Structures are given as C-alpha cells and as structure tokens.
A and B are shown apart, each in its own frame.
Chain A
Amino acid sequence: MNLFPILQREFKSYFVSPIAYIVTFIFLLVSGYFFYTNLAWYAFVSLQMASSTAEGVHDLNLTDGVLRPLFLNMSIVMLLMMPLLTMRLFSEEKKTGTIELLLTYPIRDVEALLGKFGACLAVFALMLALTLVYVLLMAFYGDPESGPVITGYLGLLMLGAAFIARGILASSLTENQVVAAALSFGFLLLFWAISWATFFTGPKLGSVLTYLSLMDHLNSFSKGVIETKDVVYYLGFTFYCLFLTLRSLESKRWRG
C-alpha cells in the first residue's frame, strides 16, 4: 500500500490553506461555549442541592451532568463542520484537473482514497484532541470517571470517521465544492434526525429507524459503554461510504 505520500500531502495542504485553522477555531469556540454552559449549569444545580436536602445528590455526577451533554453537543458541531473539511478532497482535484495525474500514477484508486481519508481523519483527530483541555480542566477541579471519557472520545472519533467517509463520497460525485458540502451536510442531517419519525411509525419500523440514526449510537459510548452494534454501525457506515466512493471513481473513469 502506497498511501502515505498522499496522506502526507493532503494533511499538509489542510494547513497551507486556512481551512484547518478556521474549522478548528470555530469547532473549539462553539464546543468550548457548550462546555462552559454545561459546567455552569452543573455548578448551579449542585450548589442548590447542597443547600437543600441531601436527597438526590448521588444521582448527580460529572459524567451525566457535564460530559454526556458535552459529547452530544460536540457531535452537532461536528455535523456542521465536517462537510467543510471533506468537501475539497476530490472536488478540487476534479476542478483543477490534478485528478488526471493522480489517477495515472502507479497507485490503486483505493490507495488514493485511503490516503485522503486518513489525512482528513488525522486533522479531525487533532481537532478533537484539543478539546481534551476541557477534560483536563474538569480533572483539575473534580474527578470525572476516566471510562466514559475514553469511550466518549472513541465514539466521537468513530462518528467523525463516518462523517468523513460520507463527505468524501459527496466530494467524489461533483467538481463543485459547495455542492459536495451541501450533499454531505444534508445527508448527515437527515440521518441525524431519522429516529424522530419513530413517534408515528410504530415500533417495528421505529426500531429500524433508531438503529439507522447516526446520533443514537453515540449514546452508549457517552455513558461509558462500548456496544458491538454501535461499533458495527459506525464501521459499516464508514466502509460502505468508502466503497461507494471507489465505485464512483471507477464509474467516472468509464464515463469519461
């Protein structure tokens, strides 16, 4: 597999243009705001509880009060930001024509694809790693459980990988970056909210829709539980999108 040169090039090119800096900045700004409001609310509630009766204090903990809402909030910020990271991956090469050289070098399509996917995942992981500051702050003043922190981040990383795979697929379909962003954003939003329909679909279809929903699978991760069905869902989603991207690249070759 000769995907490293592409991975390296793509990774660097994120930091040559302002894209990575802007997206990371906005991501940290918004998730930092969520962290602050969660923490402030938690502090307010715990103060109230301390001054009133001692009942219910045991139900109050950092994992449920701060971390879980933070993870869920961050996943929404990711939903908004990830299409901006992925939209250029193939669209730009198509627009400038560099794809013609890339696909005539002695590498397989899958190497080009995984190189790009890996680069974007690395940028996202870096972005996510910076939010560990919030956890460190919490660890300094309180003591959050380490289990849910680890699984929560693992869940976010897998969710991110799924977002990226979907974004790359959109990017391989068009040479227009705005179209690519719109395609991936719209699709992800739909899959985020797909379980809302369970109110009126009945239990059978409802359970299918709940399983399809991107966000519902984050729930157990944020509680500190790794469930096989969630892991399978995220990996399956990612691989399926990457597979479709390969097919899209190939069909582009045939259609010319």
Chain B
Amino acid sequence: MIEVENLTKYYGPVPAITDITFQVEKGEILGFLGPNAAGKTTTMRILTCFMPPTRGRARVAGYDCLDQSLEVRRRIGYLPENVPLYNEMRVTDYLHFVSAIKGIPRRERSRKVAEVMGDCGLLEVAGKINGKLSKGYRQRVGLAQALLSDPEVLILDEPTVGLDPRQIIEIRNLIKSLAGRRTIILSTHILPEVSMTCQRVIIINEGRVIAVDTPENLTAQLEKSAQVLLQVEGPPEEVVTILSRVEGVLEVERRDIAADHQVHTYLVKSQPALDLRKELAAAVLRNQWGLLELRGVSLSLEDIFIRLVTEEEGSAADHPSQSTSGPEGPDEEEEL
C-alpha cells in the first residue's frame, strides 16, 4: 500500500531524514517511533505530499507522491501534529467545508459528516466553535476531518499528544477500531502506545531507520536474558543463595524495600527463553518463606529503544565494545 524508497530530505544543508526505506501492507497499523526531531514529521509530510523529498521516492496505493500528488492526496487522511483547525469555524461547518474540499458530492455531505461525527464522538460539540474546544475534542475533530471521504490510508502525527489518560485510551481505541479496512501510519514518541496499537514498528533516530519489526520480535531479539521479579519475606542473604542455586539462574539482584526489613524484592535473571517461575516459587516455599509476589518481566519498548539508539551511537562512533549489551535496563521495568 505504501512504499518508501531511499527517502532523503534536506532542510538547507541539514538532512532531516536519510535513506528511509520501508513498506506498509494494506490494512496494517504501523508505528513510527523516534525521539523528537528524529524525522517522523518530515517523512509524514512527504507521504502526504505537503513537501517533496530531496531524493528517493514515496508511493501510496501505487501513485507517486511527487508526480501524481492529487491521486495520492485523494486517498490519504492526514492528522498533522498539533491539529491545526480553523479556529473561528463551528465544528459542523468545518467538517462540511472539508467534505466539500475533498470532493464529496453535495447530497452525500450531510450523511458523511454525521457519520464521522458519530464515529469520533463529536455529536455533543456539533455547534461549538473549533477554537473553544478542549484538547481532546480538538484531536477528535482532527481525526474526523481525516476520516471524511473514507481514505484508504490514514497518517496520524502524534495523535495522542497532550491528552489526559482517559482521552488517550479513547483515541487509541478509536484508532484500533479503524484498522482493518484502512492502512494506518501513526507516529509517536510514547513507547507503550506503539506496543498497544501497532502491528509493526519502525524505529528512527536522527533521520535513519534503525529497526523495523513487530513489537514482540523486537523484544525477543534484544532480550539478553529472561527476568523474573519476586517479592519474598525472609532473610535476604539466604534467599539470594537459594535462588542462585536454582538451575538456569544467571544472576540474582536484591532490591530493598525500606518499610520492612524482612521483605525484599529480587530480580532473577536467567538464560533467555527459560521460564523459571515454577522452580523459583517451589524454592521459596520449600524454605517456608512468604512469597508475596512473582511475575515475569519482559523488556519494555522503552528499553529496546534505548538499547537500539545507544548501539547505533556506539557503532557510529566506532566504539570498541559495541557487541556488549546496552546499558543496564532502567530501574522500573514495564510489563508488555
């Protein structure tokens, strides 16, 4: 559905993106992940025909973004970052304007507008002025205008930025419900968002693609060890010794909880693809300690991202120890 080949864009002498190549299949949700100023918005602006690339080509539904820009634009719904709307217009009038400009026949406009307003939960703000809308509703109006004319491709630039947690969940569900018939590219720098909504992730940093894969594969690829987190009530030294003796365990790390001297948290690292939860539980129970918590911990996208970015920097600087793993995972692991 979307093919991007060696896309390069310079702003003056500075490259914003360099040799970006990827494909998106029909019906896929692709996450575009990267720190701020990594080139996400630039790539999206090229795909939506807002600006041409310096080099390389981008194609949407078989049409070239540069030569057949109108055909491409007919098939794309775009939600730019910060949702620029005409602030002096009412929501309904605005959506009518967009449907007219997108070439929806006059007699179908009212129906289409009502449809997307229903889908995006805008019926209660229909008569309001765009400029007076809350951030969450603004985002929905932006999404609604992108959805008018039923585009095959949706390009959403940071659709959940600046929303409160409840709104974020609503918007994510809305996006997920749109998948299937439509191909969606969505950019974000919020990592859990990608693993929650996207089937495939592209990680870019400083204008270059550094990884393309499913969130699960990325995790599996980069996990150097399986980890289990235990909270045990018992004498700390003994617990560490006993846990270390369980077969397959590589390392046991104790983390203290200040409130109670008997209760500690332990992070047990074992060989990858080895589930030691049963054995660890048995070991704790055999010694009649209290097992307060036990759960497997997998690498969060956050860790993956930091690893990829630091590995990239390591190899770019020709670092001698580039084969060693990235930095130790941050203190708070997150479950996928």
Contacts and interface: CB of A to CB of B under 8 A. Distances in A.
Interface in B60-100: 70, 73-74, 76, 78, 80, 82, 84-89, 97-98, 100
A188 B70 CA distance: 36
B139 interface: no
Interface string B20-49: 000000000000000000000010010011
B16 to A, nearest CB: 8
A99 B85 CA distance: 10
B33 to A, nearest CB: 22
A80 B316 CA distance: 59
Given A100-B50, A256-B51, A105 B101 contact: yes
Interface stretch (A5-13, A24-32, A228-236): A5-13
A98 B52 contact: no
B192 interface: no
Contact of B88 (A5, A17, A97, A103): A17
A253 B87 CA distance: 24
B9 interface: yes
A5 B100 contact: yes
A13 B88 contact: yes
A96 interface: yes
Nearest to A95: B84
B102 to A, nearest CB: 6
B45 A100 contact: yes
Contacts of B9: 256
A108 interface: yes
A44 to B, nearest CB: 48
Chain A CB within 10 A, most for which of B50, B80, B97? B50
Nearest to A99: B84
B11 to A, nearest CB: 5
Nearest to B86: A98
Contacts of B52: 253-254
B145 interface: yes
B84 A100 contact: yes
The contact size tier of chain B is: 20 to 34
B182 to A, nearest CB: 17
A103 B101 CA distance: 11
A101 B145 contact: yes
A96 B50 contact: no
A56 interface: no
B51 A108 contact: no
Nearest to A4: B100
Contacts of A107: 101
B103 interface: yes
A104 B86 contact: no
Given A96-B84, A100-B45, A104-B73, A6 B101 contact: yes
A5 B97 contact: yes
B102 A105 contact: yes
Contact of B84 (A5, A101, A106, A255): A101
Given A2-B103, A13-B89, A106-B102, A97 B50 contact: no
Contacts of B70: 106, 108
Contacts of B102: 105-106
Contacts of B78: 101, 104
Nearest to A13: B88
B139 to A, nearest CB: 14
A254 B10 CA distance: 10
B80 A100 contact: yes
A99 B50 CA distance: 9
Contacts of B74: 106
B88 A101 contact: no
Nearest to B151: A106
A4 B50 CA distance: 22
A104 B103 contact: no
B97 A103 contact: no
Contacts of A256: 9, 11, 16, 42, 45, 51
Contact of A104 (B11, B16, B49, B85): B49
A98 B103 contact: no
A16 interface: yes
Interface in B222-279: none
A9 B49 contact: no
A253 B51 contact: yes
Contact of B51 (A4, A13, A16, A254): A254
Contacts of A2: 100-101, 103
A232 to B, nearest CB: 33
A103 B84 CA distance: 12
A23 B259 CA distance: 72
Interface centre among A5, A6, A99, A108 (most CB of B within 10 A): A5
27 contacts: A2-B103, A4-B100, A5-B100, A5-B101, A6-B101, A13-B86, A13-B89, A96-B84, A96-B87, A97-B80, A97-B82, A98-B84, A99-B84, A101-B145, A104-B73, A104-B76, A105-B73, A105-B98, A106-B70, A106-B101, A106-B103, A254-B52, A255-B11, A256-B9, A256-B11, A256-B16, A256-B42
Closest 3 CB pairs of A and B: A97-B84, A5-B100, A106-B73
Interface of B: 9, 11, 16, 42, 45, 48-52, 70, 73-74, 76, 78, 80, 82, 84-89, 97-98, 100-103, 145
Given A96-B87, A105-B98, 10 more contacts: A2-B103, A5-B100, A101-B78, A104-B48, A104-B78, A106-B74, A108-B70, A253-B52, A256-B16, A256-B42
